[in-house]
């Protein structure tokens, strides 16, 4: 297994290093912080040993970061002087505090080992990759060298860029296409919903006032028992597993659920309803190996969206605030 992983890193790195140049590559910290990835992976193992469900928390932070002004750790920035950061946008109100703290803790360890070297953006990406692997998903090499942004997006910009759970397939495809991701990437990355939970307001519209015809009736009855009418406050609402069969294991059960009309969110089930994506759902439902292979490729692709490199960004000392003398947000 270890030999195979090493060969994989060597084979892929040779290709990508030629394509990408020195800014973002597979050996970015080889000289400046050679233990960077091992520190991240050991931290994640310890973190998930306490609560395996936090895999979903890290996946969500990663996705919500990359879809809003790129993979630059802007989602971690806190608002100052009355400014509302990305975390104040409704989709980010339920980012998991434990997962956010895990990133902070990893950053603290890396600052002791290699001060001012490893970016928060790289920590998010590496930690999420390792969390997926710890939950039973694939391990894959990931290029590093991302820098952190010095500012965050507005709440409105955040809302404009994060696809809501009510999106249909056309809206999802358009949203992903705007980020340079295709239909295959959409279906593969949606497989991250094989772990995690969703609050009632994100799917209760499929239950009332009328039942969504693309929802299995027995599954709908179970959901209705969990989400009572009027349970529409994210702060107090109940939640349920996105994958009702293996909620804490990263596998391809998500796709099998879609085949049985047991996708929790509209944006999930639409992938099987629409003929532009349904064959991909069927393929990943049949073969976990195919899903893992494509998920790895799409994850790497996602991790490169609008990255900052070189002098375009900075390496934050504290992930929640820009380095001293920098404006956090220009209104």
For the segment 60-69, what is each residue's pLDDT rounded down to a tens digit?
999 999 999 9
What is the pLDDT, as a whole number, of residue 16?
35
pLDDT at 7 over 60: no
Residue 150 sits in a domain whose CATH number is 1.10.520.10
What is the pLDDT, as a whole number, of residue 79?
85
Domain count, the chain: 2
pLDDT at 3 over 70: no
pLDDT at 116 over 50: yes
pLDDT at 331 over 70: no
What is the pLDDT, as a whole number, of residue 22?
46
User: What pLDDT digit, counting tens, does each position of 130-188 carry?
Assistant: 999 999 999 999 999 999 999 999 999 999 999 999 999 999 999 999 999 999 999 99
The region, left, alpha or beta by phi > 0 then psi within -120 to 50, assigned to residue 196 is: left
Choosing from 54, 60, 62, 64, which is the catalytic residue? 64
| pTM value surpassing 0.85 | yes
Residue 21's pLDDT band (cuts 50, 70, 90): very low
Residue 8's pLDDT band (cuts 50, 70, 90): very low
Q: Which of 65, 48, 60 is nearest to 105 (CA)?
A: 48
Residue 235's pLDDT band (cuts 50, 70, 90): low
In a domain, residue 33? The reply is: yes
* Shared domain check, 31 and 100: yes
What is the average pLDDT across 1-18? 34
In a domain, residue 201? The reply is: yes
* Shared domain check, 211 and 107: no
In a domain, residue 331? The reply is: no
Average pLDDT, whole number, for the chain? 91
pLDDT at 17 over 50: no
* Shared domain check, 232 and 287: yes
- How far apart, in whole angstroms, are the C-alpha atoms of residue 204 and residue 229? 8
In a domain, residue 5? The reply is: no
* Shared domain check, 221 and 140: no
In a domain, residue 16? The reply is: no
In the block, residue with structure tokens 């950061």 = 85
In a domain, residue 12? The reply is: no
* Shared domain check, 267 and 227: yes
In a domain, residue 108? The reply is: yes
The whole domain housing 217 covers: 169-295
Q: Is 193 a catalytic residue?
A: no
Q: Which of 12, 34, 48 is nearest to 133 (CA)?
A: 48
Percentage of the chain modeled with pLDDT above 90: 85
In a domain, residue 65? The reply is: yes
The answer to whether 154 and 88 are in contact (CB under 8 A) is no
Residue 194 sits in a domain whose CATH number is 1.10.420.10
């Amino acid at each position: 297994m270890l030999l195979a992983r090493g060969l994989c890193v060597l084979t892929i790195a040779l290709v990508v290093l030629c394509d990408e140049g020195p800014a973002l590559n597979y050996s970015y910290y080889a000289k400046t912080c050679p233990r960077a990835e091992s520190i991240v992976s050991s931290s994640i193992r310890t973190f998930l040993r306490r609560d395996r469900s936090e895999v979903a928390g890290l996946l969500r932070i990663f996705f919500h970061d990359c879809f809003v002004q790129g993979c630059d750790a802007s989602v971690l920035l806190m608002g100052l002087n009355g400014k509302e950061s990305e975390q104040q946008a409704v989709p980010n109100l339920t980012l998991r505090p434990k997962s956010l703290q895990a990133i902070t803790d990893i950053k603290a360890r890396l600052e002791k080992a290699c001060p001012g070297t490893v970016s928060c953006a790289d920590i998010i990406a590496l930690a999420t990759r390792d969390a997926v692997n710890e939950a039973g998903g694939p391990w894959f090499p990931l290029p590093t060298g991302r820098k952190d942004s010095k500012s965050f997006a507005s709440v409105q910009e955040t809302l404009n860029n994060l696809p809501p759970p009510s999106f249909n397939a056309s809206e999802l495809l358009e949203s992903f296409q705007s980020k340079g991701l295709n239909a295959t990437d959409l279906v593969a990355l949606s497989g991250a919903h094989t772990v995690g939970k969703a609050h009632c307001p994100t799917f209760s519209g499929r239950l009332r006032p009328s039942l969504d015809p693309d929802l299995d009736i027995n599954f709908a009855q179970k959901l209705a028992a969990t989400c009572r009418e009027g349970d529409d406050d994210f702060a107090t609402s109940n939640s349920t597993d996105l994958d009702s069969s293996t909620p804490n294991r990263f596998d391809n059960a998500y796709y099998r659920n879609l085949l049985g009309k047991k996708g929790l969110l509209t944006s999930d089930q639409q992938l099987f309803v629409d003929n532009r994506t349904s064959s991909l759902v069927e393929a990943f439902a049949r073969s976990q190996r195919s899903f893992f292979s494509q998920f790895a490729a799409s994850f790497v692709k996602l991790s490169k969206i609008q990255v900052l490199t070189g002098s375009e960004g900075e390496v934050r000392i504290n992930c929640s605030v820009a380095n001293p003398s920098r404006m956090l947000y220009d209104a």
